[in-house]
Chains A and B, each alone.
Chain A
Amino acid sequence: EAGVVQSPRYKIIEKKQPVAFWCNPISGHNTLYWYLQNLGQGPELLIRYENEEAVDDSQLPKDRFSAERLKGVDSTLKIQPAELGDSAVYLCASSPAGTTGGELFFGEGSRLTVL
Chain B
Amino acid sequence: AQRVTQPEKLLSVFKGAPVELKCNYSYSGSPELFWYVQYSRQRLQLLLRHISRESIKGFTADLNKGETSFHLKKPFAQEEDSAMYYCALYAQAAGNKLTFGGGTRVLVKP
Which residues of A approach B to under 8 Å, CB–CB? 3-4, 33, 40-45, 48, 55-56, 58, 91, 100-109
CB-CB under 8 A from A91, the residues of chain B are 44
Classify the secondary structure of B's interface with A: strand
Q: What number of A-B contacts does a CB cutoff of 8 Å give?
A: 59
Binds A, one of B59-67, B73-81, B96-104: B96-104
Set A40, A101, A107, A109: member contacting B98, Cβ < 8 A:
A101
Contact B98 A106 (CB under 8 A): no
CB-CB under 8 A from B102, the residues of chain A are 40-42
B21 on interface, CB distance cutoff 8 Å: no
Q: Chain B contact residues (Cβ within 8 angstroms of A): what range?
A: 20 to 34
Which residues of B approach A to under 8 Å, CB–CB? 4, 6, 9, 32-34, 43-46, 49, 51, 86, 88-90, 92, 95-103
A102 to B44, alpha carbons, bound, how many Å? 13
CB-CB under 8 A from B88, the residues of chain A are 42, 102
